[in-house]
Structure 1
Amino acid sequence: MASDADRESLVSAAGEAEERAIESALRPKNLSDFVGQARVRQQLSLVLEASRIRERTADHVLLSGPPGLGKTTLAMIIAAEMNAPLRISSGPAIQHAGDLAAILSSLTEGEILFLDEIHRMSRPAEEMLYMAMEDFRVDIIVGKGAGATAIPLDLPPFTLVGATTRAGLLPGPLRDRFGFTGHLEFYSTQELELVLRRSAMLLDLKINSAGFAEIAGRSRGTPRIANRLLRRVRDWALVHGVEEIDARTAAAALDMYEVDARGLDRLDRSVLSALITKFGGGPVGLSTLAIAVGEETETVETVAEPYLVREGLLGRTPRGRVATAAAWAHLGIEMPESAVRTGADLFTVLAEDETDFSDN
């Protein structure tokens, strides 16, 4: 078992500071250490190398894809590869053109400006960004009404790195101003094992191949989740005095944290369970399903649904959400014949008409 000193370190202020330092250390510092996303890495490496050869700032970069795949990490890597300072902000924090003007006017030459969730930036700030990206200039409006005047402000050359989880919400004029656009895909289990091996080495953990495979299989194709689960397995092993983590240890730890063998957590299973046991497998509207599990509609739609749909456990049809045969099997519940017929009919309708009326 863990000693008293070990237990104390888990809750001490020094332990918290060490944890934050470890989390920062888990981020790769250069493209060669970045695991996965081979195509994006290759393309981005070419863009950065060409910029260094020309001795100019790199083109503006847009990174899109689901959360947790490494967009912020890549922005940090770009700054490191270009040997340039990094300024970090986010779309929701820029609600006025003046907010953006203040950031842009304080940039130094060659600086990397990272805007997370760039699609959530206000429209006035977005329009100011057009000129800043293209001409490295902004117009500051002084005064109001007929007496207002525009004062041009020249900006030093900089590189904007925008990150978004919803690239479709970016207006065309903004998207077209990025010199390079990279879309990040979910990771395979083998790629996640490589991520975990690197993190385990930095955390000084002893884990065998089966242990890595167990954690990777429950990580939903996302490195951020994989690293989080690894730290939780580390905690479980520390408290239980386990020196080398194997598949059995990893499974026991993650079962305690309610992450099952397929990566589903409590919310995911609650959604499937309510859909099957309370509504016979569907169809059921999103708002009704959210009430049944005691969560907000947006939480169910943005947190649980994407992974359930991607895993083929839940279907979105014109008449509502429906559980697939795989969902019944995953919960260990026999699928009645009526549900089989209903599901088949609904997916036939969905193939003919993809309009989603499930919120009704």
Structure 2
Amino acid sequence: MTPAFDGNEVVNPEVEGDAEVAFEGALRPKSLAEFVGQRKVRGQLQLLLDAAAMQDRTPDHILLAGPPGLGKTTLAMIVAHETGRPLRMTSGPAIQHAGDLAAVLSSLVPGEVLFIDEIHRMARSAEEMLYLAMEDFRIDIMVGKGAGATSIPLDLAPFTLVGATTRSGLLPNPLRDRFGFTAHLEFYETEELVRVLHRAAALLGVEIEEESLREIASRSRGTPRIANRLLRRVRDFALVAGTDATLSAVRAALELYDVDELGLDRLDRAVMTTILQRFDGGPVGLSTLAVSVGEEAETIEAVVEPFLVRIGLISRTPRGRIATKAGWAHFGLERDSAALFGDDL
């Protein structure tokens, strides 16, 4: 069971690896006013929290849906911070039995915020227990087995559940319907990422030009987590090379780490090259594609494919994945020339 989080501190800087952990914590804004991007979601959340405060009640349960790295965990921390309540953090994969969930729920204090990351990966028995807990703040615990089994009701302290998911379609309808508010987080625009990077650079003590920040932002796949990670790699490159974080240094650092001008990394290019050269642009099935690049099909589907589809390099069809004209052009190829490559990657 994950220890309670008091909502005031993001990290403990005295733990091992304190510098990186403290930096990660400092990057997380503490309030909705500090949170960059997601303007509509911020407004909706603020209204929900303000209404709950005016009525002196716990806020409704909140579901945060969207791709990784857009701020779901940060928003959960902000909900706890702005309501002045403690935060308990756990994850769906860690709750594999109803008893695991019962142990967490029964130890909550009144008004506590329970954050379950990747909530769609909870065990089905735990999901069914959560239905009653969310609606009536009560769970039924089975004691004994067989004909002598007895159900003992256990009242829970009122709490707010914040669930985060990257695959909202995998949530059963009874669970999804019990959330009072569902927020869908969108990818960030370049200007928003520049603002995120300005704050991160100040925390890192990195002097960097506006055009350099814009270059990093344009290669960050619309994701703040990636933008902050690339900024740290640029910082490291400039430090080791003994140079300033100029535009040329940024481009050299990103080239070293295999991040091209569209934000494609090594795995993205492996997938694209396989589709273009080995399968003549497609169509190619997901499982075949995964075997060809030596990666799990789930990783291709959840991490690589959404980005390639979003920027228009591939399209999904009933027969499989197909490279678009933009995909051929980005790699400097024409469809008729694919045969020249054969199976050589």
Q: 1:66 touches 1:165 (CA, 8 Å); kept in 2?
A: yes
Distance 1:14 1:139, change over 3 A: closer
CA RMSD of aligned residues (A): 1.8
User: What's 1:137 paired with?
Assistant: 138
1:209/1:246 contact within 8 Å kept: no
Counterparts of 1:157-176 in structure 2 under 5 Å? 157-176=158-177
Mapped to 2, the partners of 1:149 and 1:290 lie a distance apart of: 48
Q: CA deviation digits over 1:74-127, x for unaligned, max 9? A: 000000001111000111111111111110110001110000111111111111
1:336 match: secondary structure: helix
Deviation at 1:165, TM superposition (A): 0.8
Match of 1:9 in 2: none
The CA deviation at 1:315 is: 1.6
Which residue in the other structure is 1:68 paired with? 69
Counterpart of 1:292 in structure 2 is: 292
Partner of 1:349: none
How far apart, in 2, do the equivalents of 1:48 and 1:191 lie? 24
User: Match of 1:21, as an amino acid?
Assistant: A
Query: Does 1:249 find its partner at 2:269?
Result: no
Does the 8 Å CA contact 2:97/2:123 hold for their aligned counterparts?
yes
Deviation at 1:54, TM superposition (A): 1.5
Q: 1 CA distance for matches of 2:138 and 2:296?
A: 43
Contact 1:60-1:177 within 8 A present in 2 as well: yes
The answer on whether the counterparts of 2:64 and 2:162 sit within 8 Å (CA) in structure 1 is yes
Mind listing any 5+ residue stretches in structure 2 that lack a counterpart? 1-13, 340-345
Confirm or deny: 8 A CA contact 2:276 2:338 kept in the other structure. Answer: no
Per-residue deviation at 1:334?
Answer: 3.0
The 2-side partners of 1:158 and 1:192 are apart by 33
Distance, in Å, in 1 between the alignment partners of 2:163 and 2:195 is 27
Question: What TM-score does the superposition give when structure 1 sets the normalisation length?
Answer: 0.87
Q: 2:269 corresponds to which residue?
A: 269
**Distance in 2 between residues matched to 1:319 and 1:50, nearest whole Å:** 49
Letter of the aligned partner of 2:106 in structure 1?
S
1:256–1:67 CA distance, 2 compared to 1 (3 A): same
Q: Which amino acid is the alignment partner of residue 335 of structure 2?
A: M
Tell me the distance in 2 between the aligned counterparts of 1:107 and 1:228: 34
Structure 2 residue matching 1:163: 3-state secondary structure: strand
Percent identity between matched residues is 67
SS at match of 2:96: coil
Tell me what 1:112 maps to: 113
Give the unaligned 5+ runs of structure 1: 1-12, 340-360
Query: 1:89 and 2:80 equivalent?
Result: no
Q: One-letter code of the match for 2:257?
A: Y
* Structure 1 residue 205 displacement after superposition: 1.1
Contact 2:280 2:335 in 1 (8 A): no
Q: Could you say if the C-alpha distance between residues 168 and 286 of structure 1 is closer, same or farther in structure 2, counting changes exceeding 3 Å?
A: closer
1:292 Cα deviation after fit: 2.4
Task: Give the counterpart letter for 1:93 in structure 2.
Answer: A
Deviates more, 1:265-274 or 1:330-339: 330-339
Q: How does 1:207-218 map to 2 (within 5 A)?
A: 207-218=208-219
Whether the aligned pair in 1 keeps the contact of 2:117 and 2:165 (CA below 8 Å) is yes
Q: Secondary structure at the match of 1:181?
A: strand
- Number of the residue aligned with 1:227: 228
Between 77-86 and 271-280, report the one with greater CA deviation.
271-280
- On the 8 A contact 1:216/1:226 being kept in 2, the answer is yes
Hey, what's the Cα distance between the residues in 1 that align with 2:303 and 2:130? 31
Which structure dedicates a bigger proportion of its chain to helix?
Answer: 1
Residues in 2 aligned to 1:224 and 1:258: alpha-carbon distance in whole angstroms: 17
